[in-house]
């Protein structure tokens, strides 16, 4: 109802502005409509003040409402209110929390006695604030780029015996997408249960013909938050950015790679695509599967978490600790940014970050600066060329304060860097779907895997060192000499940080 009222307010404001500026109506009409326009703004500003945001953010939105007629109001409705998402996903959040807590009760509580100081520092925090446990009966393998990831995915899909559950933000109908769909159809025809979930916005290019082809083969297909249902309630702003595959409860895939030929480096504009994915086997797959099943329940109203074959873990000999953590509007507010902050603050020797979009919270920037001042080696790697103007220049706007604190910044030049990796002290790492930006922290549905003492972390370290060789270090003197025009673009892009 609130959204409908706001939409009516927009129509009233449009009509008022038209009459005031372009019509021949009398002065009393114009003054009356001007008063109505001002009343709407005053009510909006009063509601804004009651939200108890920071004084800085409150004043920014007041200025936008007052000095940008109509446009400021519309931008506030569809950007300024994005963090007020609690009521939109209240039911899903409550339901998911209860289900994850039940799952955690079936798992063995972690033992931190074998962890070193910084590992225990982070693990105790993650144990207390998340609804999932660290698991020591899981093996993980790092997959570098599309040429390692997609052959492994195709191989494992072809080996499926009972079920395949797959969830993607971007799934295209190009050559790669059709190859995977062909495998899914083949398995469905063999009697394997296949459930396919895709984000309605991210997968706009997934053709209806391919969707119909899957459905005709017996594949269960749903889209996440179709746009047509989100105009009045703003849900179209919140996208499912997760990339999950679960096969027979024994094998799980998660990471940065969507499905499309650009992830094989075949996009002419972006060229080489640098990304990181992961395949896991063991008990932690059950947690990853639970994330999928909760999303499936939300879009299909089909509750599957009590299905016996989905509840049975397939443990393997453990290699370190593995924790799967979902984040987004269906979980605790800002949990992923809190986990990143904890990793950074627990570091004693080094913090290595690789992310395509670096638009961090103030607390994360502070933690990075303090770590560097304490003598911790801090490296941040971002792409030289980004896939968006705003993200590219907003990222660069944070360079000056980081460089002044002694933080090393590297610009990846070989192609587009899309991996989302954090490595702390060489033995604690995060890999998954969440970027280090406000959209991943507050708007998108994400899932990350945190590794403690796992041998696969060495591969992440080796790959990071290889990527450094393909990067150029940002030199403070040279960066400070950039043109006024470059600074203008950075400062302008930074204004949109809240929705990037």
CATH number for the domain that contains residue 439: 3.30.870.10
In angstroms, what CA-CA distances link 54 with 61, 82, 261, 498? 11, 15, 43, 14
DSSP string, 217-245: TT-EEEEES-GGG-TTT-GGGS-B---EE
DSSP string, 39-62: HHHHHHHHHHHHTT--HHHHHHHH
Residue 137: both structure tokens together: 């009966």
Tell me how many domains the chain contains. 3
Please check whether residues 221 and 354 belong to one and the same domain.
no
Q: Is-catalytic flag, 243?
A: yes
Q: Is-catalytic flag, 95?
A: no
**Interatomic CA distance for residues 83 and 252, integer angstroms:** 31
Q: Are 263 and 415 in contact (CB under 8 A)?
A: no
Please check whether residues 294 and 353 belong to one and the same domain.
no
Q: Give residue for tokens 């080094």.
A: 350
Q: Label residue 393 left, alpha or beta by phi (over 0 means left) and psi (-120 to 50 means alpha).
A: alpha
DSSP string, 251-298: EEEEES--BSGGGGT-BTTTBSEE-EEEEEEETHHHHHHHHHHHHHHH
DSSP state of 76: I
Q: Give residue for tokens 């933690």.
A: 367
**Interatomic CA distance for residues 102 and 132, integer angstroms:** 10
Domain range for 374 is 335-499
Let me know if residue 39 belongs to a domain: yes
Please check whether residues 69 and 172 belong to one and the same domain.
no
Let me know if residue 189 belongs to a domain: yes
Three-state DSSP at 174 gives: coil
Q: Give residue for tokens 């873990």.
A: 313
Of 85, 241, 277, 442, which is the active-site residue?
Answer: 241
Of 275, 425, 437, 459, which is the active-site residue?
Answer: 425
Return phi, psi of residue 376, to 5°: -75, 135
Query: Which among 114, 162, 208 has a CA at the least distance from the CA of 312?
Result: 162
Q: Of the candidates 252, 286, 319, which is a domain's last residue? A: 319
Please check whether residues 103 and 76 belong to one and the same domain.
no
Q: Please, is 317 exposed, middle or buried when counting C-beta atoms within 10 Å of its C-beta (0-12, 13-18, 19+)?
A: exposed
Question: Under 8 Å CB-to-CB from 257, ≥6 apart: which residues?
Answer: 146, 149, 150, 243, 263, 275, 277, 418
**Interatomic CA distance for residues 456 and 461, integer angstroms:** 9
* Global confidence as pTM: 0.88
Q: Of the candidates 319, 351, 377, which is a domain's last residue? A: 319
pLDDT of residue 266: 93
Q: Is-catalytic flag, 241?
A: yes
Please check whether residues 63 and 98 belong to one and the same domain.
no
Please check whether residues 53 and 145 belong to one and the same domain.
no
In angstroms, what CA-CA distances link 382 with 97, 372, 393, 482? 34, 18, 12, 18
Let me know if residue 158 belongs to a domain: yes
In angstroms, what CA-CA distances link 209 with 212, 213, 398? 5, 6, 44
**Interatomic CA distance for residues 465 and 423, integer angstroms:** 12
Of 127, 178, 248, 297, which is the active-site residue?
Answer: 248
Query: Which among 410, 419, 150, 486 has a CA at the least distance from the CA of 275?
Result: 419
pLDDT of residue 229: 54
Let me know if residue 325 belongs to a domain: no
Q: Are 241 and 233 in contact (CB under 8 A)?
A: no
In angstroms, what CA-CA distances link 56 with 150, 333, 351? 46, 21, 30
Let me know if residue 161 belongs to a domain: yes
Of 418, 442, 463, 489, which is the active-site residue?
Answer: 418
Q: Are 278 and 140 in contact (CB under 8 A)?
A: yes
Please check whether residues 440 and 315 belong to one and the same domain.
no
Question: Under 8 Å CB-to-CB from 380, ≥6 apart: which residues?
Answer: 353, 355, 358, 368, 402, 407, 408, 409, 410
Let me know if residue 327 belongs to a domain: no
Could you read off the pLDDT of 427-436 as tens digits, one per residue? 999 999 999 9
Q: Is-catalytic flag, 473?
A: no
Of 420, 442, 463, 489, which is the active-site residue?
Answer: 420
Residue 115: both structure tokens together: 């962890």
Please check whether residues 397 and 492 belong to one and the same domain.
yes
Q: Is-catalytic flag, 425?
A: yes
Q: Are 151 and 335 in contact (CB under 8 A)?
A: no
Q: Of the candidates 59, 80, 101, which is a domain's last residue? A: 80
In angstroms, what CA-CA distances link 2 with 89, 174, 330, 475? 15, 40, 21, 50
Let me know if residue 59 belongs to a domain: yes
**Interatomic CA distance for residues 109 and 473, integer angstroms:** 43
**Interatomic CA distance for residues 460 and 466, integer angstroms:** 10
Please check whether residues 94 and 32 belong to one and the same domain.
no
Let me know if residue 386 belongs to a domain: yes
Please check whether residues 221 and 368 belong to one and the same domain.
no
Q: What is the pLDDT along the chain (500 residues), one digit of tens a residue?
A: 666 777 788 888 888 888 888 888 888 888 998 999 899 989 888 887 887 767 766 787 788 888 888 888 777 776 655 555 555 687 888 888 888 877 777 766 777 888 999 999 999 999 999 989 899 999 999 999 999 999 999 999 999 999 999 999 999 999 999 999 999 999 999 999 999 999 999 999 999 999 999 999 999 999 998 877 545 555 677 899 999 999 999 999 999 999 999 999 998 888 999 999 999 999 999 999 999 999 999 999 999 988 888 878 888 998 899 999 999 988 887 899 999 999 999 999 999 999 999 999 999 999 999 999 999 999 999 999 888 888 889 999 999 999 999 999 999 999 999 999 999 999 999 999 999 998 899 889 999 999 999 999 999 999 999 999 999 999 999 998 899 999 999 888 887 776 66
Task: For 239-254, give the secondary structure using H, E and C.
Answer: CECCCEEEECCCEEEE
Of 235, 243, 277, 379, which is the active-site residue?
Answer: 243
Please check whether residues 167 and 314 belong to one and the same domain.
yes
In this structure, the strands spanning 377-383 and 408-412 are parallel
Please check whether residues 284 and 360 belong to one and the same domain.
no
Q: Is-catalytic flag, 463?
A: no
**Interatomic CA distance for residues 132 and 326, integer angstroms:** 9
């Amino acid at each position: 109802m609130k959204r409908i009222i706001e939409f009516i307010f927009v129509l009233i404001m449009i009509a008022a502005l038209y009459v005031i500026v372009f019509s021949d109506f009398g002065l009393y009409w114009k003054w009356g409509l001007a008063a109505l326009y001002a009343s709407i703004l005053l009510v909006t500003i009063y509601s804004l003040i009651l939200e108890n945001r920071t004084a800085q953010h409150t004043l920014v939105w007041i200025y936008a409402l007052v000095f940008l007629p109509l446009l400021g109001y519309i931008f506030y409705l569809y950007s300024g209110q994005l963090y007020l998402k609690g009521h939109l996903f209240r039911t899903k959040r409550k339901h998911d929390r209860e289900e994850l807590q039940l799952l955690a009760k079936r798992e063995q509580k972690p033992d931190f006695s074998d962890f070193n100081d910084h590992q225990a520092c982070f693990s105790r925090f993650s144990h207390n604030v998340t609804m999932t446990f660290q698991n020591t009966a899981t093996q993980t393998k790092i997959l570098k780029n599309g040429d390692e990831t997609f052959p492994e995915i195709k191989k494992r899909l072809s080996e499926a015996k009972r079920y395949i559950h797959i969830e993607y933000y971007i799934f295209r109908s190009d050559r790669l997408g059709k190859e995977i769909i062909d495998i899914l159809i083949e398995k469905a025809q063999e009697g394997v249960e296949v459930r396919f979930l895709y984000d309605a916005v991210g997968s706009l290019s997934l053709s209806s013909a391919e969707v119909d082809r899957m459905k005709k083969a017996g594949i269960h297909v749903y889209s996440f938050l179709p746009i047509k249902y989100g105009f009045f309630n703003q849900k179209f702003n919140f996208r499912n950015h997760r990339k999950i595959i679960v096969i027979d409860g024994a094998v799980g895939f998660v990471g940065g790679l969507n499905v499309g030929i650009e992830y094989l480096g075949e996009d002419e504009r972006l060229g080489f695509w640098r990304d990181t994915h992961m395949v896991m086997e063991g008990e932690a797959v059950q947690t990853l599967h639970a994330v999928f099943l909760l999303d499936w329940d939300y879009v299909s109203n089909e509750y599957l978490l009590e299905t016996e074959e989905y509840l049975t873990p397939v443990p393997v000999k453990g290699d370190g600790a593995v924790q799967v953590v979902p984040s987004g509007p269906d979980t605790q507010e800002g949990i992923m940014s809190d986990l990143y902050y904890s990793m950074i603050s627990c570091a004693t020797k080094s913090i290595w970050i690789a992310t395509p979009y670096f638009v961090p919270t103030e607390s994360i920037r502070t933690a990075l600066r303090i770590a560097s001042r304490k003598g911790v080696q801090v490296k941040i790697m971002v792409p030289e060329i980004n896939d968006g103007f705003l993200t590219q220049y907003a990222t660069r706007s944070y360079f000056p304060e980081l460089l002044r604190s002694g933080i090393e910044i590297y610009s990846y030049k070989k192609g587009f860097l899309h991996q989302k990796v954090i490595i702390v002290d060489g033995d604690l790492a995060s890999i998954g779907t969440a970027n280090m930006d406000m959209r991943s922290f507050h708007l998108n549905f994400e899932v990350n895997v945190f590794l403690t003492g796992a041998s696969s972390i060495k591969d992440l370290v080796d790959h990071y060192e290889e990527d450094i060789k393909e990067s150029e270090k940002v030199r403070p003197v040279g960066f400070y000499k950039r043109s006024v025009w470059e600074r203008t673009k950075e400062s302008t892009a930074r204004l949109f940080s809240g929705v990037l």
